[in-house]
Structure 1
Amino acid sequence: MFMGYPPPGQDPYGQQPNQDPYGQQPQYGQQPQYGQQPQYQDPYAQPQQPAYQDPYAQPQQPAYQDPYAQQPPVSGTPYPTSGGAYPTSGGAYPNAGYGAPAQPQNTLGLVGMILGIASIPLAFCCSLGLPLGIAGAIVSFLGQNKVKQGLANNEGQAKAGLICSIVGAGLTILVLILTFSLNWGLSTYP
C-alpha cells in the first residue's frame, strides 16, 4: 500500500462513494440552488416551536457593534502618558456627587408667571386678581432667588411673573376702588 493515498473505495476528500454531499436528494421537479440545501416541509407536520429562552439569563450581546461608539482605552489611563495636549492629572469632568447633575428647578418661575398672567383678566370679573396677584408675586420672587442661587435658569419667566402679578394686583385694587366709589356716589344722590 501507498502511504499517502486513501484505501480503495474511499474518496480522497473523506466522502463515501455514491452519496449526496448535501445529505438529501431533491424532490421530483425541484432543483436546489447552488450552495443551498433542498428544503422539504411536511404539510401535515405540527408547527415548529421556538427554542426555550430563560427570562433570567443574561442578555446576548448583539453581533453588530457601533463603529462610532467609544472604544475602551488600551492602557489603564484615558490620557496619554507623554507630555501632550491632554491633561494627565485631575478630571476633565466635574464631580457629579451622588449621580447625574441636578436638573434646573424652573417650577417656581413658571407657576409665578401663570398666576401673574391669570391675575390680570380676573381683576375685572370676580376680584380674584388680588389673591392671584399676591400669590404670583411671592412665587415669582422665590423663583428669582432660585435663579440667583444657580438652581434655576428661567430668569425671564420669573421676572415676567413678578411684573404681571403686580399689574394684576394693582388693577384689582383699582377696580375695587372705582366700584366702591361709584356705588357710594350713586347711593348718596336720590
Structure 2
Amino acid sequence: MAPDGPGQVPYGYPGGGYGYPGQPQGYPAQAQGYPGQHQGYYGWPGTQPLPANGMGTAGLVLGILSAIVFCLWPVAIVLGILGVIFGSIGRGKASKGMATNAGQALAGIICGAAGIVLGVGMLVLLVVT
C-alpha cells in the first residue's frame, strides 16, 4: 500500500507520513520530510547550497567566443570586455569560497583579454589598409 494510495497507512508502518498530499492528520507540518518546506535553497535538510559557478563559466564562454570571432572586431571587443568582467567576478567568488571554478574564471579572463587584443589588432589592420 503506497503512502498516497487508497486507504490510510497503518500507524508505525515504515514509509508512512512523508508529507505527501493525502497524508494522515496525525503528523505535524515540521515533520514532513520533503525539501519544498525549507526556505533559502533547494535540497535536503542539512546539505550545503550548491556553488555559484555561473559567472566563471559565463566568462569562459564569452572569452572563447571573443577570441573566435575576432574578425568581427566590434563584437569581439564587447565579448572580450564582458568575458574579462564576468571572469573577474567569478574569480572573486571562487576566492571567497562561493564557487569552485577558479580555473575556468581565470581562463575566461585570459581568453577575453586575447579577444580584445585580437579585435583591436583587426581594427588597426583595417584602419591602416
Q: Same fold (TM over 0.5)?
A: yes
Q: Can you list the C-alpha shifts for 1:45-94, whole angstroms capped at 9, x where unaligned?
A: xxxxxxx922xx348537xxxxxxxxxxxxxxxxxxxxxxxxxxxxxxxx
Q: Which amino acid aligns with 1:166?
A: A
Distance in 2 (alpha carbons) for counterparts of 1:174 and 1:125: 11
Q: Tell me what 1:106 maps to.
A: 53
- Structure 1 length-normalised TM: 0.46
Q: Tell me what 2:24 maps to.
A: none
Distance in 2 (alpha carbons) for counterparts of 1:125 and 1:140: 22
Q: Which amino acid aligns with 2:126?
A: T
1:128 to partner: Cα distance: 0.7
Match of 1:163 among 110, 114, 126: 110
State the identity as a percent.
33
Unpaired segments ≥5 residues, structure 2? 16-44
Aligned to 1:101, what secondary structure does the other structure show?
coil
Distance in 2 (alpha carbons) for counterparts of 1:132 and 1:143: 16
Q: CA RMSD in A?
A: 2.1
Verify: 1:146 aligned to 2:109, yes or no. Answer: no
Aligned to 1:151, what secondary structure does the other structure show?
coil
Q: Which amino acid aligns with 1:132?
A: L
Unpaired segments ≥5 residues, structure 1? 1-51, 63-97, 183-190
Runs of 4 or more above 6 Å deviation: none
Q: Tell me what 1:128 maps to.
A: 75
Distance in 2 (alpha carbons) for counterparts of 1:131 and 1:58: 62
1:99 to partner: Cα distance: 4.5
Q: Residue 73 of structure 2 contacts residue 120 of structure 2 at CA under 8 Å; is this kept in 1? A: no
Residues 1:138 and 1:110: Cα distance change in structure 2 (over 3 Å)? same
Q: Tell me what 1:13 maps to.
A: none
Verify: 1:61 aligned to 2:14, yes or no. Answer: yes
Q: Residue 67 of structure 2 contacts residue 118 of structure 2 at CA under 8 Å; is this kept in 1? A: yes
Q: Tell me what 2:125 maps to.
A: 178
